[in-house]
């Protein structure tokens, strides 16, 4: 028997596709809603694909009405923080306008609960070593502000209309599920692990280390890398909890265990047995020294924890980029 339907906006993208896999494995019926502006038809293979833009209110509303989802997971967004500084308008249009359209569509059709992709970028510069959900929010770029604004909209719709939503603030998503033909395929790619792997594969000349004079254990920036399948698992738990009538909540999703850029580079050499071509550059403006999650709340309330370590993340990303990605995207 087909399980409850989950509508996944942005389900043809990186984290969305891995979450569709996990939802399908958990017995849900998946429907993807994606404009394919940055997503891939090849990733939308765990259920029906409805091609559409989240800003297209009529189409979005018709899709929600047609599928009557038990819950919605909202990934669809523009994600490049650097681009958002130069050109914020489309970020507000998609990341804020898209949420406004989604909330109206949900309100018109039975108010299915919503799981929302938020980000540690809403916190801004960290005031403590590991950030919990109560850390003040002062984003450092327009991308972070669009996600912050979307959170406010969800909060106000909860108060006024009773719309339930859970916000998942991810730290650095990484890794892949090459055995399922899934992995990171962004253009342009800006994330550290794929960029380092591209340098190993000769797709780039070298991997750039930005800054070695931060106040961290080895001077390079520390980030909390979380395997995309661990993220996907958290979404399934958040969806289940909302469908079962649980309250909307905010959860940080990270390992709680940061890795420095130098540690990532060393792990990549260890896992692949290759030497990473590396160039050293100065600090990049806007980079915090360290961003690490305190994910105790997700552990306590969702029964979730990140199961896969940095080596497992790198191994899966390496297999994806070296072997599987060229076959999926010839």
- In the complex, which residues of this chain contact ligand NAD (CB under 6 A)? 10, 12-16, 34-39, 53-55, 75-79, 94, 98, 117, 119, 170, 172-173, 186
Q: How far is the CB of 116 from ligand NAD (least distance, A)?
A: 8
The 3-state DSSP class for residue 175 equals: coil
Residues sharing a CB contact under 8 Å with residue 321, sequence separation 6 or more, in sequence order: 176, 183, 184, 194, 197, 198, 201
Nearer to ligand NAD, 3 or 90 (CB): 90
Q: Which residues pair with 33 in a beta bridge?
A: 9, 50
Nearer to ligand NAD, 56 or 212 (CB): 56
CB of 151 to ligand NAD, least distance (A): 12
Nearest to 63 by CA among 2, 7, 5, 4: 7
Contact 147, 121 (CB under 8 A): yes
Answer yes or no: are the C-beta atoms of 255 and 225 closer than 8 Å: yes
- If the CB atoms of residues 54 and 250 are measured against ligand NAD, the closer one turns out to be 54
Q: What is the DSSP string of 110-162?
A: T---EEEEEEGGGTBS-SSSEE-TTS--B-SSHHHHHHHHHHHHHHHHHHHH-
User: How far apart are the C-alpha atoms of 261 and 275, rounded to whole Å?
Assistant: 15
143 is catalytic: yes
Nearest residue (CB) to ligand NAD, 78 versus 313: 78
Q: Write down the number of H helices and E strands in the chain.
A: 12, 15
Nearest approach in angstroms of CB 14 to ligand NAD is 3
Sign of CA dihedral 229, 233, 235, 239: positive
Return the number of the residue (119 or 255) whose C-beta is nearest ligand NAD.
119
What is the per-residue DSSP string for 200-257?
HTTSSS-EEEE-S-SSSSSSS-EE-EEEHHHHHHHHHHHHHHHHTTPPP-EEEES-S-
- Shortest gap between Cβ of 254 and ligand NAD (angstroms)? 10
Least gap, CB of 55 to ligand NAD (angstroms):
6
State the sign of the Cα–Cα–Cα–Cα dihedral 91, 95, 100, 102.
Answer: positive
Nearer to ligand NAD, 78 or 209 (CB): 78
Q: Spot the catalytic one: 14, 143, 170, 214.
A: 143
Residue 295 Cβ, how far from ligand NAD at the closest point, in Å?
Answer: 14
- Which of the residues are catalytic? 143
């Amino acid at each position: 028997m087909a399980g409850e339907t989950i509508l996944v906006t942005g389900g043809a993208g990186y984290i969305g596709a891995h979450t569709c896999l996990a939802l399908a494995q958990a017995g849900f019926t998946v429907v993807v809603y994606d404009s394919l502006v940055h997503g891939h038809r090849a990733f939308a293979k765990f259920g029906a694909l409805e091609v559409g833009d989240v800003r297209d209110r009529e189409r979005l509303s018709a899709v929600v009405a047609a599928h009557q989802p038990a819950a919605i997971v909202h990934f669809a967004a523009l994600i490049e923080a650097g681009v958002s500084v130069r050109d914020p308008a489309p970020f507000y249009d998609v990341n804020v306008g898209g949420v406004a359209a989604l909330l109206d569509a949900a309100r018109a059709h039975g108010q299915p609960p919503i799981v929302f992709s938020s980000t540690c970028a809403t916190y801004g510069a960290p005031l403590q070593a590991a950030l919990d959900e109560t850390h003040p929010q002062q984003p450092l770029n327009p991308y972070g502000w669009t996600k912050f604004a979307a959170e406010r909209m969800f909060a106000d719709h909860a108060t006024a209309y009773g719309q339930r939503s859970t916000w998942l603030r991810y730290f650095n998503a990484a890794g892949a599920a090459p055995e399922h033909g899934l992995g990171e395929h962004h253009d342009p790619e800006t994330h550290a692990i794929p960029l380092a792997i591209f340098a190993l594969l000769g797709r780039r000349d070298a991997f750039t280390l930005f800054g070695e004079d931060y106040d961290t254990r080895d001077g390079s920036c520390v980030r909390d890398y979380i395997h995309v399948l661990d993220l996907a698992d958290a979404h399934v738990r958040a969806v289940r909890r909302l469908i079962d009538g649980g309250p909307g909540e905010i959860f940080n999703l990270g390992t709680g265990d940061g890795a420095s850029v130098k540690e990532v580079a060393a792990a990549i050499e260890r896992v692949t047995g290759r030497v990473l071509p590396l160039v050293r550059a100065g600090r990049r403006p806007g980079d915090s020294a360290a961003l690490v999650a305190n994910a105790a709340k997700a552990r306590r309330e969702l029964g979730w924890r990140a199961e896969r370590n940095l080596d497992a993340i790198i191994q899966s990303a390496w297999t994806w980029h070296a072997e599987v990605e060229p076959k999926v995207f010839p």
